[in-house]
A and B are shown apart, each in its own frame.
Chain A
Amino acid sequence: MDHKTAAVKMRDITKSFGSVLANDRVWLNIYRGEILALLGENGSGKTTLMNMLAGIYFPDAGQIFIDGREVVIRSPKDAFDHGIGMIHQHFKLVDVLTAAENIVLGLKEPGRLNLKAVAERVNRLCKAYGFEVDPWQKVYTMSVSQKQTVEIIKVLYRGADILILDEPTAVLTPQETDKLFTVLRNMRDDGKAIVIITHKLNEVEELSDRVAILRNGQFVGDMPTKMTNTGEMTNMLVGHPVTLSIDRPEPVNPKPRIEVKNLTVRSIDGIIKLDNVSFTARSGEILGIAGISGSGQKELLESIAGLQPTETGSICYIHDDGHHEEILGKDPLSIAEMGVTLSFVPEDRLGMGLVGSMGISDNMMLRSYRRGHGFFTDRKAPAELARKVVNTLAVSTPNLDIPVRKLSGGNVQKVLVGREISSTPTVLLTAYAVRGLDINSSYEIYALLTAQKMRGAAVIYVGEDLDVLLQLSDRILVLCGGKVSGIIDGPGAKKRDVGLMMTHLGGGNTDE
């Protein structure tokens, strides 16, 4: 620990949103020439804390010192003036503008706007770090990783020397992650202060020099990464010792349930999202879908659920008696009318699976309100179901009528999953079922999915955490750019192999 100076000191930072205390008297030091991993579960307040440094939020109380002097960061502009740049998890880019226009946004450069000069500087930065970005490309035509690159260049262009990255690897492949980490290490060696917000322990170990842990909005402790280990960090993260493992019982009597053949889907812009995809999902089995985010997972699930216009191919539901029935081209209502109980836990819980402003009872009604022939809705049965879900899944909520938006992420997901499995589905589709959930809730969800599999449902699980996917799934389908890169058995599958298959069709003999 030679002469490092505290670039940022945060003292007694407190912030609440309504009745939720997001940060409670947090202390934090950030040093130059060091990569700090800010570790915490979802909802522990790490992003909120960093947003206050970036000027997005303003603390209710507390002090911030930069290089030893107290500062007040009222806006992102103040943050930039202090050399703080943040790369948000949800990219802050204007879709209809070009990369160069986005990069130059907000800068107070002297003289007239000269986009050519901007583009040249961007190209120089790209060369220096090995990025690939066309400064004249409109952002709405870019892929997720291209957008992230633009975000990073945007911060570098401003000459920021305190960089905060909010879960930067969530959208990247293992290979892209390695590249990003190399860049971050170079920047650290340049003397920049780097903070990465994460909840992945392996990233902390691989990348960071020091780790600081938040739990429930409170600062739990920090230490040099070398001096700790996964077990200790997990305990600090969760607050009590935990042993985490996922049970994978043998599939029961697997029979083909959903047969997808040569499925091709184009987006509205004409981009191929799924290219000639074929596979079979079996009852009593969890089929995991792996892939870089945006490789067609969403389109695949939505095609099966009857929500996605498709170009060619077929999706058959296979009844217990072996009878095949086409469900492609049918909407969710007609699929249900066929007597198929297909449940879908979508990625966007409050924007798709649930109605955020309605209570738990009314959300239960989403699937059942059509029952009966009358003109009026029946509110008794949904209320009954709501009570049942709240009791059996231990949803913590003051009452059944509070808008579900106000519940925590884990409870929202329990409400959604609870409703979807209440119909005893024969097919259960889930997309990122544990995103944003704390560790305990995540394991509860895994257990629920496994229970559905044991009951005989065909479960299709789209996940982003490869470790979990490998432990949970009976078989894994790997998507790469909308194509099936391979289907492998879950037990015995290697993370590195799956990672390669995510980036190269078949994962085979490449330059890697």
Chain B
Amino acid sequence: MSKQKAPLIYISKRKDLPWYGAWGIRGGAIILALVVCAVVTTLLTGENPLGVYAKMLEGAFGTPRKIWVLLQNTAILLCVSLALTPAFRMRFWNIGGEGQILVGGLAAAACMILLGDKLPNALLICVMTVASIAAGALWGFIPAVCKAKWNTNETLFTLMMNYVAIQLVAFFVIVWEVPKGAGKIGIINQSTESGWLPQLFGQKYLLNIIIVAILTVLVYIYLNYTKHGYEISVVGESERTARYVGIKVDRVIIRTMILSGALCGVAGLLLVGGTDHTITTTVADGRGFTAVMVAWLAKFNPPAMIFASFLLAFLDRGAGEISTAFGLNHSFSDILTGLILFFIIGSEFFISYRISFRKHASSALPAAQPPLINPSEKNGKEE
């Protein structure tokens, strides 16, 4: 028993890494992940790994249209990530982005269908905007009130709200289905294009991209330079501190979640009014969840989120191209995205912790130094 081994691997908290160290580790993780993805793809398709990368790049950047789609996907994902960020900074785990997008989109669609031929287009778009924001905000407001009043677990509450929203959309899809029995709505106002967000310079996606770019700047300023942003940081760090300095925590939680939901509502508006011109239960396409990962990868920092959402949108498009090119199911892209996420998530560990290996406790000693002072051994206590 006396010669027990010291732990082989020993983990301790790291001193602060310089920023390039952290990004080096993340970059390394992404490269490693891409290698693994190529190996997996090669195993399944027999294509050489370089060909796989070429296909991914082609899928993302191959044609101007593909680039626009990539930018559009990036923009929408970024929009949702921005929406979640104020809540996350407050340590409110809003994973209800999916539902908040859906109700925002539903509100926009409702306006388009019900008011499409009653209002002038400009007014209609204003009404749609207000309605989407209000619907998203409502979906954020409900769990926030319960969190503020009774500390109800927000992760689970917002998660459940997603499915309530999905069923709500499913309900209205049948109410408004065209033609009857089709189970879907189809393109709304195809002939009049009323309620469709305008195209800038003939580009379908440009408006969305510009709006999201503006939102990025606004959210960044809001979080870092305003009193509200400061309150959010304080509440997130410690509710007790917030109460101690007289911040009304309940009010901050509710206000921030209204904002979070409202921005998700905007994403819904951009999807329904700007690009899809229809509503389905899958219009959010899992972005509410993907955005959680984007926001977390970017450490809740809006500028870093641009890159994170671009990376994930690129992966999705690139992997989609691989599946099409090799006749695989499109879900292949989810597998690749998942793999890459695992690597990035895992790499965070190596940024905050240091690992040391050792063979035996005494061998790790620094060269024998005299002790500063010996304990009293003069009394013959030593055995």
User: How many residues on B have C-beta within 8 angstroms of the other chain's C-beta atoms?
Assistant: 49
Cα–Cα, bound, A355→B245 (Å): 11
- Determine if B362 is an interface residue (Cβ-Cβ < 8 Å): yes
- Determine if A127 is an interface residue (Cβ-Cβ < 8 Å): no
A-B contact count (CB 8 A): 136
Contact residues, B1-39 vs A (CB, 8 A):
1-7, 10, 12-16
- Determine if B243 is an interface residue (Cβ-Cβ < 8 Å): yes
- Residues B227 and A369 in contact, CB atoms below 8 Å apart: yes
Instruction: With both chains docked as a complex, state the minimum distance between the C-beta of B85 and any C-beta of chain A, in angstroms.
Output: 17
Q: Which residues of A contact B150 (CB under 8 A)?
A: none
Instruction: With both chains docked as a complex, state the minimum distance between the C-beta of A83 and any C-beta of chain B, in angstroms.
Output: 13
- Residues B244 and A355 in contact, CB atoms below 8 Å apart: no
Instruction: With both chains docked as a complex, state the minimum distance between the C-beta of A494 and any C-beta of chain B, in angstroms.
Output: 36
- Residues B376 and A307 in contact, CB atoms below 8 Å apart: no
- Residues A355 and B234 in contact, CB atoms below 8 Å apart: yes
- Residues B380 and A61 in contact, CB atoms below 8 Å apart: no
- Residues A220 and B246 in contact, CB atoms below 8 Å apart: no
Instruction: With both chains docked as a complex, state the minimum distance between the C-beta of B14 and any C-beta of chain A, in angstroms.
Output: 8
Q: Which residues of B contact A27 (CB under 8 A)?
A: 371, 373-375
- Residues A377 and B225 in contact, CB atoms below 8 Å apart: yes
- Determine if A222 is an interface residue (Cβ-Cβ < 8 Å): yes
Cα–Cα, bound, A362→B14 (Å): 25
- Residues A31 and B381 in contact, CB atoms below 8 Å apart: yes
B243's closest neighbor in chain A, by CB? A307
- Determine if A445 is an interface residue (Cβ-Cβ < 8 Å): no
Q: How large is the interface on A (under 10, 10 to 19, 20 to 34, 35 or more residues)?
A: 35 or more
Cα–Cα, bound, A62→B373 (Å): 15
Contact residues, B244-271 vs A (CB, 8 A):
244-246, 248
- Determine if A131 is an interface residue (Cβ-Cβ < 8 Å): no
- Determine if A354 is an interface residue (Cβ-Cβ < 8 Å): yes
Contact residues, A333-363 vs B (CB, 8 A):
333, 336, 344, 346, 348, 351-358, 362
- Determine if B230 is an interface residue (Cβ-Cβ < 8 Å): yes
Q: Within the complex, which residue of B1, B5, B248, B381 is in contact with A1, where a contact is CB–CB below 8 Å? A: B381
Cα–Cα, bound, A375→B225 (Å): 9
- Residues A352 and B241 in contact, CB atoms below 8 Å apart: yes
- Residues B245 and A367 in contact, CB atoms below 8 Å apart: yes
Q: Which residues of A contact B373 (CB under 8 A)?
A: 27, 218-221
- Asked, given contacts A1-B380, A29-B381, whether A370 binds B227 with beta carbons under 8 Å apart, the answer is yes
Q: Which of A69-77, A317-325, A471-479 contacts B (4 or more CB under 8 A)?
A: A69-77
Cα–Cα, bound, A367→B377 (Å): 55
Cα–Cα, bound, A358→B225 (Å): 14
- Determine if B182 is an interface residue (Cβ-Cβ < 8 Å): no
- Residues A74 and B6 in contact, CB atoms below 8 Å apart: yes
A379's closest neighbor in chain B, by CB? B225
- Residues B246 and A331 in contact, CB atoms below 8 Å apart: yes
Q: Which residues of B contact A5 (CB under 8 A)?
A: 383
- Residues B381 and A6 in contact, CB atoms below 8 Å apart: yes
Q: Mark B353-383, 1 if CB is under 8 A from A, else 0.
A: 0000000011011100101111111011111
A31's closest neighbor in chain B, by CB? B381
Q: Which residues of A contact B243 (CB under 8 A)?
A: 307, 332
Instruction: With both chains docked as a complex, state the minimum distance between the C-beta of B231 and any C-beta of chain A, in angstroms.
Output: 8
- Determine if A24 is an interface residue (Cβ-Cβ < 8 Å): yes
Q: Mark A1-38, 1 if CB is under 8 A from B, else 0.
A: 10011100001101001110000110111010000000
Cα–Cα, bound, A369→B373 (Å): 51
Instruction: With both chains docked as a complex, state the minimum distance between the C-beta of A147 and any C-beta of chain B, in angstroms.
Output: 22
- Determine if A366 is an interface residue (Cβ-Cβ < 8 Å): yes
B371's closest neighbor in chain A, by CB? A27
Among all A-B residue pairs, the 8 with the closest Cβ atoms: A333-B246, A332-B246, A69-B2, A352-B240, A72-B4, A355-B237, A61-B365, A366-B245
Q: Within the complex, which residue of A58, A59, A332 is in contact with B244, where a contact is CB–CB below 8 Å? A: A332
- Residues B241 and A71 in contact, CB atoms below 8 Å apart: no
- Determine if B155 is an interface residue (Cβ-Cβ < 8 Å): no
Interface, chain B (partner A; CB < 8 A): 1-7, 10, 12-16, 225-231, 233-234, 237-238, 240-241, 243-246, 248, 361-362, 364-366, 369, 371-377, 379-383
- Determine if A223 is an interface residue (Cβ-Cβ < 8 Å): yes
Contact residues, A272-293 vs B (CB, 8 A):
none
- Asked, given contacts A6-B382, A70-B2, whether A222 binds B237 with beta carbons under 8 Å apart, the answer is no
Instruction: With both chains docked as a complex, state the minimum distance between the C-beta of A429 and any C-beta of chain B, in angstroms.
Output: 11
Cα–Cα, bound, A219→B248 (Å): 48
Instruction: With both chains docked as a complex, state the minimum distance between the C-beta of B352 and any C-beta of chain A, in angstroms.
Output: 11
- Residues A72 and B6 in contact, CB atoms below 8 Å apart: yes
Cα–Cα, bound, A362→B240 (Å): 17
- Determine if A130 is an interface residue (Cβ-Cβ < 8 Å): no
- Asked, given contacts A348-B240, A370-B227, whether A72 binds B372 with beta carbons under 8 Å apart, the answer is no
Instruction: With both chains docked as a complex, state the minimum distance between the C-beta of A227 and any C-beta of chain B, in angstroms.
Output: 10
What are 27 A-B residue pairs whose CB atoms fall within 8 Å in the complex? A6-B381, A12-B365, A12-B369, A14-B366, A18-B13, A27-B374, A27-B375, A29-B375, A29-B376, A29-B377, A60-B364, A69-B1, A71-B4, A218-B373, A219-B372, A221-B376, A222-B376, A305-B244, A306-B246, A351-B240, A351-B241, A352-B238, A352-B240, A353-B241, A355-B241, A377-B226, A377-B230
Instruction: With both chains docked as a complex, state the minimum distance between the C-beta of B203 and any C-beta of chain A, in angstroms.
Output: 34
Cα–Cα, bound, A439→B352 (Å): 34
- Determine if A300 is an interface residue (Cβ-Cβ < 8 Å): no
Q: Mark A42-65, 1 if CB is under 8 A from B, else 0.
A: 000000000000000011111100
- Determine if A212 is an interface residue (Cβ-Cβ < 8 Å): yes
- Determine if A68 is an interface residue (Cβ-Cβ < 8 Å): yes
Q: Which residues of B contact A377 (CB under 8 A)?
A: 225-227, 229-230
- Residues A63 and B362 in contact, CB atoms below 8 Å apart: yes
- Residues A58 and B245 in contact, CB atoms below 8 Å apart: no
A210's closest neighbor in chain B, by CB? B376
